Structure 1
Amino acid sequence: MSPRGGSRKATRGYGVTPWSRALCDVVEGRVTGPVDSRRITKARSYFRDRNVRQLSIGSGRVTALVDGSQLEPFEVTLTVRPVHAPTVTSLLRSQNAVDDLLALTRGTQPKALGELVLPTEAADIASSCTCPDETVRCIHVLAVTYEVAAEIDKHATTLLTVMGTDLPELLSAVESLSIGSLSVESLSGSASAEETGMPSAPLAPSAAPALPPLPNPPRMNPILDLDIKTLHAALRASGIPAGDVGEAVDQLAELYDVLLE
């Protein structure tokens, strides 16, 4: 309860898991260069104040209404370049990572699967908004993205829906791939060296071991590594009013963004 006797809204969060954070990075433009911190701060405020309404996440398409500076809400649409399920499963198999699909059912966000389905560039996500701002990623588009990120934080399979597929489709593609592989193996077995009389191919000489690739650590968000309750208590102890704690956390996140750029 607040000192005035009214209830205080809990501070909302988003982008607290690897997949949702990666989605936000692409939409915010962090993968291509500096970002508009002022616009991001305003969008975070819209998200925190629940200005986004009627969020609908369909296959490869997201729609929502966002309350803004005008009487009527703005209409936002995100259209995503869909992934190709057979290609995803084929690459998973080549990496011996088909088990990532099973891990997804347990609520985890497997790295290999994420690298195959997540958007990697701004062109992967088209956005439109009925507001007068001609910027490609207006504050309303960003606010809707944060709502989607919050849903991915809660349910990892939401990302698959956003990217135009789902878990049943991927599992079906794996099954089809397995059946095809069994057929190829059967054909190969019928033409073995013993049956054809052809000598076996010589083994290749052992080669020098390849050097491992240079590490490519993921982008960090130090705010996510902090205990949020302790952080809020520290901010309150420093004299920040309870109602301004959420905004103060956003400002800290922006400062970390500047340091990491």
Structure 2
Amino acid sequence: MSPRGSQRRTPRASAARAYGATRWGRSFVDVVEGAHTGDADHRRITQARRYFRDHHAERLQIGVARVTASVRGSQLDPFEVTLTMRAVDPATVVALLRTNDATGELMALTRGEQPSAIGELIMPTESADIAADCTCPDESPRCIHVLCVAYEVAAEIDRSAATLLTVMGTDTVQLLAAASEATAPADDSPAADRDTAVVPAVDFYGTNATLPPLPTPGRMNPIMDLDADALRKALRASGIAPGDIGEAIDLLDDLYDRIRDRPIS
């Protein structure tokens, strides 16, 4: 038995953590790590990855073009880290998307996707795009604590594409607003034209063609159209007794009729 007061603490097992699992998350990490080339730098990266896995970063705050966090290191008090990004201009991003005929990617962005053209325009491309400051004594361009925070940011980008927009000083609302302004009529146009002109929304689908009307399908009963043997096997697999299968099919048929004939409010 261990002497009183000297019990050893069992390290708390933590779930495996990952970052850079998406294109945007990986690209962000590549830019931050870009200043590291020597053996000492590789050791910093290895140590920073261990810090990330062991949750050394605390109080992570991701704001507009600015990230702050505290990182527990080799000293008693944590080190304070600040990342400041070179913010992008929403109007410029939209103008370049139009030049590349890629405004449709704005809709993909609203669905939480990471469209490549938008990523190329807003992603930092060189180390100078990310200014880093840490209260630790390490004078390297990217210390262990800065790298650890960058990995935390990359993990957040993996979880939500909108995080990269915030990190780079913009958001989806600003980009969509810039796209809408670009389609508005000029102020020097005749007043009558301004009153009667119909300003189209951003053409996310790449065409202004009028779509044909939706087809009107004939009335059908999918329950009765199912393969009878497959339906019986499925019902038996769900636990229904063989003698009750016929009644179960009748109940499904009745339920479908009620759903189909229910008026839409």
2:127 and 2:89 map into 1 onto residues whose CA distance is: 18
Residue in structure 2 matched with residue 29 of structure 1 by the alignment: 34
Aligned pairs for 1:48-197 within 5 A:
48-179=53-184, 182-183=185-186
What is the SS of the residue equivalent to 1:71?
Answer: coil
2:159 and 2:138 map into 1 onto residues whose CA distance is: 31
Residue in structure 1 matched with residue 215 of structure 2 by the alignment: none
Distance 1:72 1:110, change over 3 A: same
Q: Tell me how far 1:96 sits from its aligned partner.
A: 1.3
1:25 and 1:105 map into 2 onto residues whose CA distance is: 25
Residue in structure 2 matched with residue 198 of structure 1 by the alignment: none
Q: Tell me how far 1:83 sits from its aligned partner.
A: 0.3
2:131 and 2:27 map into 1 onto residues whose CA distance is: 16
Distance 1:71 1:6, change over 3 A: closer
TM-score w.r.t. length of structure 1: 0.65
The CA RMSD over aligned residues, in Å, is: 2.3
What is the SS of the residue equivalent to 1:175?
Answer: helix
Q: Tell me how far 1:101 sits from its aligned partner.
A: 1.4
Q: Which amino acid aligns with 2:64?
A: S
Distance 1:105 1:143, change over 3 A: same
What is the SS of the residue equivalent to 1:183?
Answer: coil
Q: Tell me how far 1:8 sits from its aligned partner.
A: 3.2
What is the SS of the residue equivalent to 1:86?
Answer: helix
Q: Which amino acid aligns with 1:164?
A: G
Residue in structure 2 matched with residue 20 of structure 1 by the alignment: 25
Q: Tell me how far 1:49 sits from its aligned partner.
A: 0.1
Q: Which has the larger radius of gyration?
A: 2
How many residue pairs match? The answer is 181
1:6 and 1:127 map into 2 onto residues whose CA distance is: 32
1:45 aligns with 2:50: yes
Q: Tell me how far 1:33 sits from its aligned partner.
A: 5.6
Aligned pairs for 1:195-234 within 5 A:
none
What is the SS of the residue equivalent to 1:12?
Answer: coil
Distance 1:82 1:51, change over 3 A: same
What is the SS of the residue equivalent to 1:72?
Answer: coil
Structure 1 unpaired stretches of 5+: 191-261
What is the SS of the residue equivalent to 1:70?
Answer: coil
Q: Which amino acid aligns with 2:123?
A: L
Runs of 4 or more above 3 Å deviation: 5-8, 32-35
Distance 1:34 1:87, change over 3 A: farther
Distance 1:7 1:80, change over 3 A: closer
TM-score w.r.t. length of structure 2: 0.64
Q: Tell me how far 1:183 sits from its aligned partner.
A: 3.5
Q: Tell me how far 1:6 sits from its aligned partner.
A: 8.7
Structure 2 unpaired stretches of 5+: 1-9, 194-265
2:171 and 2:92 map into 1 onto residues whose CA distance is: 14
Percent identity of paired positions between Structure 1 and Structure 2: 58
